[in-house]
Structure 1
Amino acid sequence: MISTIVWGTGNVGRLAIKAVDAHPALELSAVIVHNPAKVGKDAGELAGMERELGVVATDDIEAVLAAKPRAVVYGASGDIRPDDALADVVRAIGAGAVVVTPALYALYDQRNAPAEVRDPVATAVESGGGSLFANGVDPGWGNDILPLLISGLGSRVDVIRCQEIFDYTTYDQEDSVRYLVGMGQPMDYDAPMIAATVPTMVWGGQVRMIARGLGVELDEIREVVERRPLEQSVTTTTMGDFEAGTQGAIRFEVQGIVAGEPRIICEHVTRIHASCAPEWPVPPTGDGAHRVIIEGEPRIEVSVEATDVTGNRAEGGNATAVGRLVGAIEWLVAAEPGLYDALDVPLRYGTLS
């Protein structure tokens, strides 16, 4: 069994606990938390499971890493603390662990990551013998391996478009929704997630990986951003009120330009309520979907809707992204130490229960 720890118990971490527990080759050996109120609680409780797992949460990072876990699922946020997240990951790799995480956007396409991000990780790999696989929660597979897989089903590919379409009405992450994305803020609010160059920092690596898989060179990467205000005030069950006239929806594209035209596109359409920007793409049903559209011969469109046991699509989508990361651990442990991306790491088949 591969000794595996989960670091963080938020939207990613609690799903990672479930995924590690369900994986036949992994053993949950520790859970690291930051909130003192979570210290001493059983991992099963923190993950919202109906049973205890016999592993209690700790904030003693040094002791956990000193025990030499073979793998770490780093689920703590990197959105507003990228330097801290990088330092944590480097620390774990330096202790000899394989690390999988969605927190380090710049390392999704590790070959083209900035030196100030890549070099500390590469040094830790060399000195500690660990590895890193960073991949997204939006979900990563929907913007890298899925479009490449289905691109091979036709005779001609003109444009690849990857879409995430999501309504935040039932989402439970207020800081990110209000302040990172800017929902409910004045229309002149500078939301960090859509500030110039940030979409490229987060999704540009996936555009570059698709281009690499297709064997084409990008001229450049462009960003296109649109915003819409709420026409009426709305109330969400988890995050409260959002006033009319404030930002209610955003749509942006990260475009890979080939021969002067946008040919590889990651597009996000996000609303705080279904009534906002109804002319923009909507999911086939419910509050969210991931879609890949191949314009070519033939035209291929694939929509993926994932839900948890309660029908929550945000949790379902995140669970598939976590499943991709946790499913990579066994392969990474068997591979040589190094930095890996989605085109390096094969997709693990599921386990029939």
Structure 2
Amino acid sequence: MSARTGAEPIRVFQVATGNVGSEMIKRIGEHPDLELIGLHCYSPEKIGRDAGEIAGIGGIGVLATGTVEEIIAARPDVLTFHGVFPDEALYERVLEAGIDIVTTADWITGHHRDRNHPHPSGRPVSEVLRAACLRGGSTFYGTGMNPGLCQILGVVHSADVSEIENVTVIESVDVSCHHSVQTWQEVGYGKPVDDPGIPASLERYTRVFSDSVYMMADCFDLELDEVRFSYELGACTEDIDLGWYRLPKGSLGANYIKYQGMVNGIARVESHLEWQMTPFTAPAWDIKGCYITQITGDPNIYSKHMIFPKAGARLDNPEDFASIGMTVTGLPALNAIRSVVAAAPGILTSADLPLRGFGGRFTLS
């Protein structure tokens, strides 16, 4: 937590310039609350280059560095972390130096990191980071579009429901615009659908969605017995060449995953992932291109959160189209920064943030 007035720009040091990170360099420059003062890169060839040039928007006068010492010496108010996987050693040092962290990398509550990624010390990761927060008087928060905003919408849509029986949020999307070969190789897309390793790959890559179920249950004051994982696989019915990725006939091209929060054997809170890389699969799902909240109760609720490009945007360039997905992943983190900086030290979840922590910003002429 940093002591500052609401009128001052918040000094941001960003980590990573992958798909999300590159988009966030641009978005920080447009954000009225924020000022980018530094960039940390892991790739040696990026160190010393201008952050704007790395992101493809031209020079902005911020040069990439490569050590934690340089982050701490810059004395930012907050570090934004947009790597694919967490760097918990970096987190600990930054937090104990009194610098808040907002991340889109595989963290919503810390439950799955504690369970599936043992810390070298043998302690739960969340315990290590919480102790670093207390030593430095700093705050740590993880979010994104899904998991993240998708589950927040699920909670908010229950505000006018009595006698809730079930809350389910669904991501129903075509994922072919997310051009990350490494990601989809890890998930198992392109491997024969009967490859016995695919279920474990899917579960390993999506484990953070169990966190999203626990976060929603926390908001509902609901104690879960367990969170169950299940899946269905869609096999490509023909050879698919996306230009940046190839999916042979018979390989994994779509999936339907469920993370279900169980109480007395009944699913009460659920996160579903309805993904396709191509519509030519068997089985195939009716991809709706949106985020859906379904609530069974009194009354029942069905809501779609649909995302469209701004007026005049060109969509003939796949990279421009893909940037929409990167924007909605990173903006929930950027817009929450002022609330995170104002919060008490410790680990926050979206259940802890005030409503203003989810608010965007107007552009006024």
Q: Which runs of 5+ in 2 are unaligned?
A: 1-8, 115-122
Partner of 2:94: 92
Q: Is 1:64 paired with 2:64?
A: no
**Equivalent position amino acid for 2:306 in 1:** E
268 and 58 in structure 1: CA distance in 2 versus 1, 3 angstrom threshold: same
Contact 1:40 1:57 in 2 (8 A): yes
Q: Is 1:318 paired with 2:326?
A: yes
Compute the displacement of 1:198 (Å): 6.2
Partner of 1:209: 215
Q: Which whole-Å CA distance do the structure 1 matches of 2:306 and 2:44 have between them?
A: 36
Compute the displacement of 1:238 (Å): 2.5
**Equivalent position amino acid for 1:323 in 2:** L
Q: Which whole-Å CA distance do the structure 1 matches of 2:306 and 2:240 have between them?
A: 25
Partner of 2:296: 295
Partner of 1:16: 24
| SS at 1:325 equivalent | helix
| SS at 2:297 equivalent | strand
Compute the displacement of 1:215 (Å): 2.1
Partner of 1:271: 276
Paired-residue identity, %? 28
Q: Which whole-Å CA distance do the structure 1 matches of 2:35 and 2:144 have between them?
A: 23
| SS at 2:124 equivalent | helix
Q: Which whole-Å CA distance do the structure 2 matches of 1:87 and 1:60 have between them?
A: 12
Contact 1:7 1:76 in 2 (8 A): yes
Q: Which whole-Å CA distance do the structure 1 matches of 2:294 and 2:61 have between them?
A: 45
Partner of 2:117: none
Q: Which whole-Å CA distance do the structure 2 matches of 1:70 and 1:331 have between them?
A: 12
The alignment's TM-score, normalised by the length of structure 2, stands at: 0.85
Compute the displacement of 1:293 (Å): 1.3
Contact 2:295 2:302 in 1 (8 A): yes
Q: Which whole-Å CA distance do the structure 1 matches of 2:96 and 2:131 have between them?
A: 8
95 and 104 in structure 1: CA distance in 2 versus 1, 3 angstrom threshold: farther
| SS at 1:31 equivalent | strand
Q: Is 1:141 paired with 2:146?
A: no
Q: Is 1:109 paired with 2:133?
A: no
Listed one character per residue, the Cα deviations across residues 257-287 of structure 1 (whole Å, up to 9, x for unaligned) are 123211211000112202224642411xxxx
- For 1:39-50, list aligned pairs within 5 A: 39-49=47-57
182 and 310 in structure 1: CA distance in 2 versus 1, 3 angstrom threshold: farther
Compute the displacement of 1:310 (Å): 4.2
- For 1:125-140, list aligned pairs within 5 A: 125-140=133-148
Q: Is 1:231 paired with 2:241?
A: no
Q: Which whole-Å CA distance do the structure 1 matches of 2:166 and 2:18 have between them?
A: 36
Compute the displacement of 1:130 (Å): 1.8
**Equivalent position amino acid for 2:109 in 1:** D
Compute the displacement of 1:161 (Å): 1.1
| SS at 1:282 equivalent | coil
Q: Is 1:247 paired with 2:252?
A: yes
Listed one character per residue, the Cα deviations across residues 109-131 of structure 1 (whole Å, up to 9, x for unaligned) are 24786352112101211222221
Contact 1:110 1:340 in 2 (8 A): no
Partner of 1:163: 170
Listed one character per residue, the Cα deviations across residues 181-217 of structure 1 (whole Å, up to 9, x for unaligned) are 111012215245424x764x41112111211212222
Contact 1:137 1:318 in 2 (8 A): no
Listed one character per residue, the Cα deviations across residues 22-74 of structure 1 (whole Å, up to 9, x for unaligned) are 2222210001112223223322232333x432212222432232222110001
Q: Compute the RMSD of aligned alpha carbons.
A: 2.2
Q: Which whole-Å CA distance do the structure 2 matches of 1:276 and 1:111 have between them?
A: 34
112 and 44 in structure 1: CA distance in 2 versus 1, 3 angstrom threshold: closer
Contact 2:147 2:209 in 1 (8 A): no
237 and 298 in structure 1: CA distance in 2 versus 1, 3 angstrom threshold: farther
**Equivalent position amino acid for 1:125 in 2:** C
Among 174, 185, 207, the alignment partner of 2:191 is: 185
Partner of 1:2: 10
- How many residue pairs are counted as aligned between the two chains? 336
Contact 1:234 1:243 in 2 (8 A): yes
Compute the displacement of 1:139 (Å): 4.3
**Equivalent position amino acid for 1:304 in 2:** H
Q: Which moved more, 1:110-119 or 1:13-22?
A: 110-119
